[in-house]
Structure 1
């Protein structure tokens, strides 16, 4: 059962909506500790002074802000506490703006907003429907963990399984970067090549548009999995079982392609064949059903996962090519 990390209310005009805040995402990255390889002893970090090397207790540490000349201004926890925004249990809506005007680059972390109790359900639903009908997002400020945050409240559609509670439209809160925290791409030197009057002919535009359309599908979050994490966990399991791991030489990067039109046309053809689940046949007796040899190992692994090929995580690139070719030939026959 998820637990609320913040409770308070949304305030807009004279209306207050009691709400609870829940984290909407979780980090599933594989974590490791550090060890000294020869002894197998765990490596731990200590807080020590730069000159004496003596360890300092966490409670005795103060913060230092570095000035341009390299010197530091020391700030105590009490001094920082004196300028904190203060404890607040209100998400104060300052503006409603058009949802399409918000660039996703400003979004930071997502939270679910739930009505705090039964009495809050009606004003919650009223705010949700008003924002949905007007395609608006609310820009607000609130304080969490002694830090003031800018936030956007928007309506999100949540899929539910069967009669699962919570399915439908809900309010979500996105903490946001402040305007001076977002870097302008105009400062990137490499962007300046776009100012040289690049000409795109109609044929190139049509091919690029066709490629986009060929790769267009419905959003299905469940089909996008972290294949790297899966391989790392499989590696850990194999080593835990005592298996000897043989590493492969990294693949050489492929040469850059200069014939853009040829690449576009080939990409459109490949995308259409994948969408239709049709193998890409090559000519000649004994030819491979699909040109798997030209694919990267990651692409091969994802295709093997899609075809549910047993033992795929332990296969080398050549073994994946062979297994996929056999599977494609079996399908075609």
Structure 2
């Protein structure tokens, strides 16, 4: 069976320069924060196993062109304006290495549609740790993000720099004129006003509340990527993968009776699932409470013993290092559940 590795690869530095806010400067590196787990396929000619490659070919002569002879050209509609790669670097030599924060803003005010890619910012050396920590802590305490611009890969980006746990994170943002107007994209907007009954609205809100939970990205998984991986492994070993028979959902009828019934059934199903999900958690909490009560009672019992009595119990329990422990340390070791004790070497 072929093993499809999911190990994290080498993190590449995508940009390096100087982050500045006010008169304070900090040399940093930007590293990719996201790793796609999409499986990559090569193009092959069916039945041959031969790779099909996309080459740089002169469309007039049909000949392949070496990378060193390729320049950029802007189509004016009549001819091309040719621009050399070095000329693009020359027009922003300083800005390509500068990340200057021009102000701070509350990211809660930023529409999520403006967010694009995410990068980690790391100090370029341990000697800059103090400045890095200062900026990170100041942003964390203020709850603000620094707004700046930076040139990467011959393109200028609007970015937001914020504190997240132990690191500084940089989000690239779309420019305002890059975000399309929904009223132009959806000609039917605004939708014609349809009368909503109080029972419909109440049912929909009840469904939202019944399906609400704390955000935990770990509980979601890319099932399709897993199926693709299973397919590749099965085909490599000569096996097959059973196709899913799950049918796509059918549109809900807009009729009032059907819509109300669908909402009510959805609420019942959501509440049943929530009840089932709470059972293991409730059982775990009950076990923890019982264990806590037992430990509390055990601690009270141990407090009444002398050090010699505690040592005798520690000997019977096989607690390592007991001969060098103080009375308090013996009590702590005896009150610790057996599965958490350090094993004797």
CA separation of 1:214/1:245 partners in 2, compared to 1, >3 Å: closer, same or farther? closer
Aligned to 1:209: 205
Aligned to 2:103: 95
Deviation at 1:77, TM superposition (A): 2.8
User: Secondary structure in 2 aligned to 1:50?
Assistant: coil
Pairs within 5 Å for 1:1-333: 2=11, 4-67=13-76, 69=77, 71-86=79-94, 88-156=96-164, 168-194=165-191, 196-244=192-240, 251=247, 254-258=250-254, 259-277=258-276
Deviation at 1:32, TM superposition (A): 0.5
Higher share of residues assigned helix: 2
The answer (yes or no) to whether the contact 1:2–1:22 under 8 Å persists in 2 is yes
The answer (yes or no) to whether the contact 1:85–1:146 under 8 Å persists in 2 is no
CA separation of 1:210/1:170 partners in 2, compared to 1, >3 Å: closer, same or farther? farther
Mapped to 2, the partners of 1:25 and 1:227 lie a distance apart of 18
The answer (yes or no) to whether the contact 1:85–1:143 under 8 Å persists in 2 is no
The answer (yes or no) to whether the contact 2:252–2:259 under 8 Å persists in 1 is no
The answer (yes or no) to whether the contact 2:88–2:154 under 8 Å persists in 1 is no
Deviation at 1:245, TM superposition (A): 5.9
CA separation of 1:245/1:121 partners in 2, compared to 1, >3 Å: closer, same or farther? closer
Residue ranges of structure 1 left out of the alignment (5+ in a row): 157-167, 279-333
User: Secondary structure in 1 aligned to 2:45?
Assistant: coil
Deviation at 1:70, TM superposition (A): 6.2
Q: Report the TM-score, using the length of structure 2 for normalisation.
A: 0.68
CA separation of 1:121/1:79 partners in 2, compared to 1, >3 Å: closer, same or farther? closer
CA separation of 1:178/1:275 partners in 2, compared to 1, >3 Å: closer, same or farther? same
User: Secondary structure in 1 aligned to 2:230?
Assistant: helix
Deviation at 1:250, TM superposition (A): 8.8
Deviation at 1:87, TM superposition (A): 5.9
User: Secondary structure in 2 aligned to 1:216?
Assistant: coil
Superposed CA offset, 1:32-51 (max 9, x none): 11111122222122222223
CA separation of 1:98/1:229 partners in 2, compared to 1, >3 Å: closer, same or farther? same
Deviation at 1:25, TM superposition (A): 0.7
The answer (yes or no) to whether the contact 1:154–1:173 under 8 Å persists in 2 is yes
Deviation at 1:57, TM superposition (A): 1.7
Deviation at 1:85, TM superposition (A): 4.8
Deviation at 1:72, TM superposition (A): 3.4
Mapped to 2, the partners of 1:30 and 1:216 lie a distance apart of 32
Q: How many residues align?
A: 265
CA separation of 1:18/1:191 partners in 2, compared to 1, >3 Å: closer, same or farther? farther
